[in-house]
A = this chain, B = another copy of it.
């Protein structure tokens, strides 16, 4: 069983929660500050990830690339107003070397359409993260959202 990593656990957990809250509060830009400038953010299906297939729904290879994508969401994409609600659970530190910790958590995202209030279980899966704890505040070195489903019904406009 993974060690408890009492020393860093709360800071790591808080980092994951901060990301989720930024997206859910429609402050999506703020997630770029939570990853290392040369970090990586990926949203991929479990099916592809387990087979080592490279295709991903989102694959940002730096914080700047993620920032660009969010800007295009704000400026260019036309989509129905909607809110995400993350449920993050089961946070575990499953390994680590030096100041880089391997972190696992489960997530579900409920999406609510603003106009008619329809709620829908939109996405579910596991996060595979590497968190750097060497600096003043912990940062994501890499985040991978692995979706349990291969089918995401609509365009994934807002990052998870």
Residues of A within 8 A of B (CB): 1-2, 4, 6, 9-11, 14-15, 17-18, 20-21, 24-25, 34, 46-47, 83, 85-92, 104, 106, 108, 110, 112, 114, 116-121, 124-126, 137, 148-151
How many copies, total?
3
Q: Can you sample 24 A-B contacts with CB below 8 Å?
A: A1-B14, A1-B15, A1-B34, A2-B14, A4-B11, A4-B14, A6-B10, A14-B92, A17-B90, A17-B92, A21-B104, A21-B106, A24-B106, A25-B126, A46-B83, A47-B114, A85-B106, A85-B126, A86-B90, A86-B106, A87-B106, A88-B90, A118-B149, A118-B151
Task: Write out the residue numbers on chain B whose beta carbons fall within 8 Å of the beta carbon of A18.
Answer: 1-2, 92
